[in-house]
Chain A
Amino acid sequence: DAKTTQPPSMDCAEGRAANLPCNHSTISGNEYVYWYRQIHSQGPQYIIHGLKNNETNEMASLIITEDRKSSTLILPHATLRDTAVYYCIVRVAVEWGTYKYIFGTGTRLKVLA
C-alpha cells in the first residue's frame, strides 16, 4: 500500500510561516495529495489538494516536488487558531477506476504566542 510519512509534531511562532512536510514516495502519476486538519476531536477540515503543480488558496500553499515524492504545506502566517493535527492524505488508485484514501499519522502543530 502507498504510505505517507509525517513528523509527529512541530512548533511554530505566531505570525511566522509553518512548513509541514510529507513524504509520499510511492505515489504514482494520477494520485492526488490532500491536506486536512483536525482540531481536538472535531471532524477534519479540508485545506488544499494538488496533483502535480503547486497550489495556493486562501488558507495555505501546497508545494509538490517535481518527482512528486514529497510535498510541503505552508501556512503563511500562523495564528494560535492554526494549532491542530495536520494530515497528509494520498488518493491511490485501486482497480477498475476505483480508489482509496491513505492517511498519514498526522503532524501536531503547536503555534506559540
Chain B
Amino acid sequence: KAGVTQTPRYLIKTRGQQVTLSCSPISGHRSVSWYQQTPGQGLQFLFEYFSETQRNKGNFPGRFSGRQFSNSRSEMNVSTLELGDSALYLCASRSLAGKVHEQFFGPGTRLTVL
C-alpha cells in the first residue's frame, strides 16, 4: 500500500497570504488528522476529519481550517499567514476499523512564512 502523501513538500509564502496544503491518506483510511511541528512549540494537534466532517480539534485559531472530500483526501488552509506559522505540517491517516489507534504520518509540508 502507498503511504500518506502530502503536497507540496516545501512552500514559501509571505505574511498576510493564505496557503492550502493537501493530504492523501492510505487507501482505505477514512480519518485524516493534521499536526503542526515547530522548534518552539513542538508537535501540536490541529484537527481530525472523517466522513467529511471535523470531529476533533486542538487549540488553534480560526485562521486554521480544513476540509475532507468524499474520497477521504483532505486539505488544510491557513489564512492571513503570520511569521509564527512557519512550521512542518504533518498529516496522518488511520483506519476506523481494526487498528483504529494507529496513525500513519506523511512526510510533511515545510511552510516558510517571510
Contacts and interface: CB of A to CB of B under 8 A. Distances in A.
Interface of A: 1, 32, 34, 36, 41-46, 49, 87, 94, 98-103, 105-106
A53 B92 CA distance: 26
B42 A105 contact: yes
A34 B57 contact: no
Given A98-B56, A100-B58, A44 B105 contact: yes
20 contacts: A32-B101, A34-B101, A41-B88, A41-B108, A43-B105, A43-B106, A44-B43, A44-B92, A45-B105, A46-B101, A46-B104, A98-B57, A99-B56, A100-B56, A100-B57, A101-B33, A101-B45, A103-B43, A103-B45, A105-B42
A43 B108 contact: yes
Contacts of A94: 56-57
A99 B104 CA distance: 18
Q: Report, as a range, how many residues of chain B touch the other chain.
A: 20 to 34
Given A100-B57, A100-B58, A101-B58, A49 B101 contact: yes
A103 B58 CA distance: 11
A93 to B, nearest CB: 10
Interface in B33-47: 33, 42-45
